[in-house]
Amino acid sequence: MRRWASKKAERFEESVIREMTRISTLENGINLAQGFPDFEAPLPMKEAAKRAIDADINQYAITWGSELLREAVAKRTSEYNRIPASGGSNVTICCGATEAMIATMLAVLDPGDEVILFEPFYENYGPDCWISGAVPKFCRLAAPDWAIDFDELERAFGEKTRAIVINTPHNPTGKVFSRSELEHIARLCIEHDVLAITDEIYEYILYDGAEHISIGSLAGMADRTVTISGLSKTWSATGWRIGWCIAAEEISLAIRKMHDFLTVGAPAPLQEAAAAALGFGESYFASLQREYTERRNVLLEVLEETGFGVSRPQGAYYIMCDLGDLARPAETDTEFAMRLLRDGGVATVPGSSFYADPTTGNREIRFCFAKKLETLRKAAAVLRERLA
C-alpha cells in the first residue's frame, strides 16, 4: 500500500500535551496538563472584542497585523522588554506565539541548518525544526536548578548552527534566564554569527522578585534576535490565537511572507481587543503576579507534602517534578501519569515529552497551575488521597 504521509509528517508524533487534555476529558479528570487557565479572561478585553465585532471589524486585517495592535506591541516591547521597536517595520502579528515560532523558523532556516534547543524544551520546537528542514541540537539544563553547562553549550555551536531557541521564563521548568546567562549566550551568538529566537510568552508571570530580561535588549543583539510573545498567557486568552514577533526589518520581511502564506492573518476583531489589553495599567500585571504566586504556592505545598522532588519555579506556570519513590520501580512517567489520571484523577504531562530521547525525563512529570484556587484545591485533595 502506498503511504501518503510525508517524511516530515512521519518524523514526529501528535502533541502529548494536547493528547493529555483529551484523555483528561474522557477520564473526567482535573486537567493540570495543558497550559491554559480555567478562569475568565479580563472583562475590558472581552468587551473590546464584542465592540469590535459589532463595529463590523470582521474582515481580514492587514496580513502582518492591524496598525493599532502593531503600535501597541511596539510600545510595550520598547518599554517592558527594552527593545526599541516600530510597528511599521519590526512587528508581525501571528496566530499565537505558536505560529510566530514556525513562521520565524521557516523564514530563517534552510534544510540542514542546525538549531540549538535547551533541553527539556517545549515540545513544539522539535517539530518546528523538522518542518523547517533544520536539525535540532541539544544542550541540557540540569535539575534541580536547571543551570546551563556552558562547556556543553559551546560544543553545540558549530559550522552549521544558524539559530538558538531561548525560552524564558521556561516551560516546563520555570527557570528564568539570568542576565549573565543571557550575556554569555549573546556572546556565543555574535561570535558564531547565530540568530537568537526567544519565546517570552510567560514574560509577565514571575515569582519571588525574578526579573525578566530579553536577550534582544543586550548589546549587539537587536539585529540578530527574534522576540516572540503573545496574548495567551498574560491575558488568559489561549483560544484567541493572538501572538507576535519582533525582529529587525530584514528578518521581519521574511517572517511576514511566511505568515502571509501560512495563515493570511490573525483574527481581526480580536486584534482590536488585544490592543486594548496591551494598554492595561501596571496594576493588571501586579495582580497577575500576585494571583499566580498564590496558585503556585498551593500546588507547591501539596507536591512537596506528597513526596515529589520539586523544583521551585521562578516564572511561568508549571512545576516540573521528579517522581522519586512515588513511581513504582519499573513504572515510566507515562504509566505514572495515566495511573494518576484514571477515574477522575489529575492530568499531568509526562516529563519525557520534553526531551529528544524519551528515556530521558521518564522519571519526571509536569503540573500546570494556571487554574482557579478551587481547582487546585480539588487536585490537592485527589493527590493526597491517591499518593498517601
Closest distance between ligand GLN and the C-beta of residue 282, in Å? 25
Question: Given the complex with ligand GLN, which of 171 and 334 has the nearer CB atom?
Answer: 171
Q: Does 35 bind ligand GLN (CB under 6 A)?
A: yes
Question: Given the complex with ligand GLN, which of 57 and 368 has the nearer CB atom?
Answer: 368
What residue number has its CB nearest to ligand GLN?
35
Closest distance between ligand GLN and the C-beta of residue 21, in Å? 8
Q: Does 18 bind ligand GLN (CB under 6 A)?
A: yes
Q: Does 25 bind ligand GLN (CB under 6 A)?
A: no
Q: Which of 90, 167, 168, 171 binds ligand GLN (CB under 6 A)?
A: 171
Q: Does 161 bind ligand GLN (CB under 6 A)?
A: no
Q: What are the residues whose beta carbons fall under 8 Å from the beta carbon of 140, sequence distance 6 or more? A: 118, 119, 149, 152
Distance (Å, rounded) from C-alpha 257 to C-alpha 106?
10
Question: Given the complex with ligand GLN, which of 24 and 171 has the nearer CB atom?
Answer: 171
Closest distance between ligand GLN and the C-beta of residue 55, in Å? 30
Q: Which of 16, 24, 30, 34 binds ligand GLN (CB under 6 A)?
A: 34
Closest distance between ligand GLN and the C-beta of residue 17, in Å? 4
Closest distance between ligand GLN and the C-beta of residue 123, in Å? 7
Question: Given the complex with ligand GLN, which of 21 and 78 has the nearer CB atom?
Answer: 21
Q: What are the residues whose beta carbons fall under 8 Å from the beta carbon of 139, sequence distance 6 or more? A: 116, 117, 118, 119, 148, 149, 152, 153, 156
Closest distance between ligand GLN and the C-beta of residue 119, in Å? 15
Q: What are the residues whose beta carbons fall under 8 Å from the beta carbon of 290, sequence distance 6 or more? A: none
Closest distance between ligand GLN and the C-beta of residue 96, in Å? 7
Q: Which of 64, 118, 121, 122 binds ligand GLN (CB under 6 A)?
A: 122
Q: Does 17 bind ligand GLN (CB under 6 A)?
A: yes
Closest distance between ligand GLN and the C-beta of residue 287, in Å? 22
Question: Given the complex with ligand GLN, which of 98 and 306 has the nearer CB atom?
Answer: 98
Question: Given the complex with ligand GLN, which of 98 and 168 has the nearer CB atom?
Answer: 98
Question: Given the complex with ligand GLN, which of 18 and 50 has the nearer CB atom?
Answer: 18
Question: Given the complex with ligand GLN, which of 157 and 367 has the nearer CB atom?
Answer: 367
Size of the site for ligand GLN (CB under 6 A): 7
Closest distance between ligand GLN and the C-beta of residue 89, in Å? 29
Residue of 183, 364, 377 whose CA lies nearest to 294? 377
Footprint of ligand GLN (CB under 6 A): 17-18, 34-35, 98, 122, 171
